[in-house]
Amino acid sequence: MIDIALLRSDPDLVRENIKKKFQDRKLPLVDRALELDGKRRSLQTEGDKLRAARNSLSKQIGQLMREKRTEEAERVKAEVNADAERLAAIEKESEEIAEELKSVMMRIPNIISKDTPIGKDDSENVERMRFLEPKVPDFEIPYHLDILEKLSGIDIDSARRTSGQGFYYLTGDIARLHSAVLSYARDFMIGKGFTYCIPPFMIRSSVVSGVMSFEEMDGMMYKIEGEDLYLIGTSEHSMIGRFMGQTVDEKQLPLTLTSYSPCFRKEKGAHGIEERGIYRIHQFEKQEMIVICKPEESEAWYEKLWRYTVELFVSMGIPVRQLECCSGDLADLKYRSCDVEAWSPRQKKYFEVGSCSNLTDAQARRLGIRYKSDKGTAYAHTLNNTVVAPPRMLIAFVENHLCADGSVEIPEVLRPYMGGKEKIIP
- Cα 209 to chain centroid distance, Å, stands at 11
Summarised one tens digit per residue, pLDDT across range 71-108 is 776 676 677 777 777 888 888 999 999 999 999 999 99
pLDDT at 55: 67
DSSP sequence for 137-196: -SSPPPPHHHHHHHTT-EEHHHHHHHT-TT--EE-HHHHHHHHHHHHHHHHHHHHTTPEE
pLDDT at 64: 63
Summarised one tens digit per residue, pLDDT across range 198-214 is 999 999 999 998 888 76
**Whole-angstrom Cα distance, residue 338 to residue 321?**
10
**Whole-angstrom Cα distance, residue 380 to residue 253?**
9
Query: Do residues 15 and 30 touch, judged by C-beta distance below 8 A?
Result: yes
pLDDT at 268: 63
Q: Within a 10 A sphere around the Cβ of 15, how many other Cβ atoms?
A: 18
pLDDT at 276: 67
Starting at the earlier edge strand, list the strands of the sheet with 376-379.
247-249, 370-373, 376-379
3-state secondary structure of 375: coil
**Whole-angstrom Cα distance, residue 22 to residue 27?**
10
**Whole-angstrom Cα distance, residue 55 to residue 52?**
5
Summarised one tens digit per residue, pLDDT across range 376-422 is 999 999 999 999 998 889 999 999 999 999 999 999 999 999 999 99
**Whole-angstrom Cα distance, residue 384 to residue 240?**
9
**Whole-angstrom Cα distance, residue 275 to residue 395?**
12
Summarised one tens digit per residue, pLDDT across range 341-381 is 999 999 999 999 999 999 999 999 999 999 999 999 999 99
**Whole-angstrom Cα distance, residue 424 to residue 408?**
5
DSSP sequence for 169-182: EE-HHHHHHHHHHH
The pLDDT of residue 43 is above 60: yes
Closest CA to 290 of 178, 189, 187, 185: 189
Domains (range + CATH), the chain? 4-105 (1.10.287.40), 122-424 (3.30.930.10)
pLDDT at 58: 65
Query: Do residues 310 and 340 touch, judged by C-beta distance below 8 A?
Result: yes
**Whole-angstrom Cα distance, residue 167 to residue 200?**
22
CA distances from 394 to 165, 205, 279, 309 (A): 19, 32, 9, 15
pTM score, whole prediction: 0.89
**Whole-angstrom Cα distance, residue 20 to residue 328?**
7
Q: Within a 10 A sphere around the Cβ of 87, how many other Cβ atoms?
A: 17
**Whole-angstrom Cα distance, residue 379 to residue 370?**
4
Summarised one tens digit per residue, pLDDT across range 148-182 is 999 999 999 999 999 988 899 999 999 999 999 99
Adjacent-strand bridge partners of 344: 349
pLDDT at 273: 40
